[in-house]
Amino acid sequence: MFSKSKINEPGPKAATTDKPVMKDAPRPAGDFQASAPKPKPPASVLSSDLHIKGNLKTSGDILVEGSVDGDIRAHLLTVGEGATIKGEVVADDVVVNGRVVGRVRGLKVRLTSSARVEGDIVHKTIAIESGAHFEGSVQRQDDPLSTVGKAVPPPKPAVKG
C-alpha cells in the first residue's frame, strides 16, 4: 500500500529530466543565478609626504602614513607610526600606531605601544598596549557606529522675563 520514498536517502541522485543542460543558455527572467562576490579592493595608502585637509569616506580600508586634518570614515583604518589625524575617526576596526587628536569610534579599537590619542574613544572592544599615551574618556557601546551623525542640539538661549 505505502512504499518508502528514496528522496532523503544518501547516495547518487538520479537526474529528474532527460534534457541536457546548456551552461550558456539564456535563463528565464524569474530564474535566480548567483554571482561571484566582488573582490575586496586593496587598502588605500596615504603616504608619509601627503597632507590632506578635508574629510575622507570609504567602505574600504585606509592606511594613513601622512597627516589628515578632517574626519575619516572607513571599514578598517590603520594610523601609521608617523601619521597624525586631527578629526573624528569612525571605522569598524581602528588600529592606532601614530597620533589622533579627536574622537575615535569603532567596533574594535586598538592602541599600540606607539599610539598617542587625545580625545574620547567609543568602542565595542578595546585593546591598549603598554606604552600607549591616551588622554580622554572611554565609553563602551554595543553599536558605537550607530550614533555617528546624530547632532547634539545647540543650547537654548536664555529667556529674560
| Closest by CA position to 40, among listed 83, 74, 79 | 74
Task: Pull the grid cell for residue 137.
Answer: 574618556
Query: Does any domain span residue 87?
Result: yes
- All three cell numbers of 71, joined, read 574626519
> Is there a domain that residue 38 lies in?
no
Percent of the chain with pLDDT over 90: 61
For residues 94 and 75, give the distance between their C-alpha atoms in angstroms, rounded to a whole number: 9
- Are 67 and 49 within 8 A, CB to CB? no
In a domain, 135, yes or no: yes
- Is there a domain that residue 124 lies in? yes
Q: Does residue 4 surpass a pLDDT of 80?
A: no
Task: For cell 602614513, name the residue.
Answer: 65
- With DSSP H G I counted as helix, E B as strand and the rest as coil, what are the percentages for the chain, rounded to 5? 0, 40, 60
Cα of first residue to Cα of last residue in the chain, in angstroms, is: 94
Note the pLDDT tens digit of each residue in 85-118: 999 999 999 999 999 999 999 999 999 999 999 9
Number of domains in the chain: 1
Quick: pLDDT tens for 109-149: 999 999 999 999 999 999 999 999 999 999 999 999 886 44
Asked if 46 and 52 count as a contact pair (C-beta separation under 8 A), the reply is yes
State the residue range of the domain holding 128: 44-140
CB < 8 Å & 24+ apart, contacts of 127-133: 132/96
- Residue 7 in any domain: the answer is no
In a domain, 36, yes or no: no
Q: Which of 98, 109, 100 is nearest to 145 (CA)?
A: 109
| Residue 81 one-letter amino acid | E
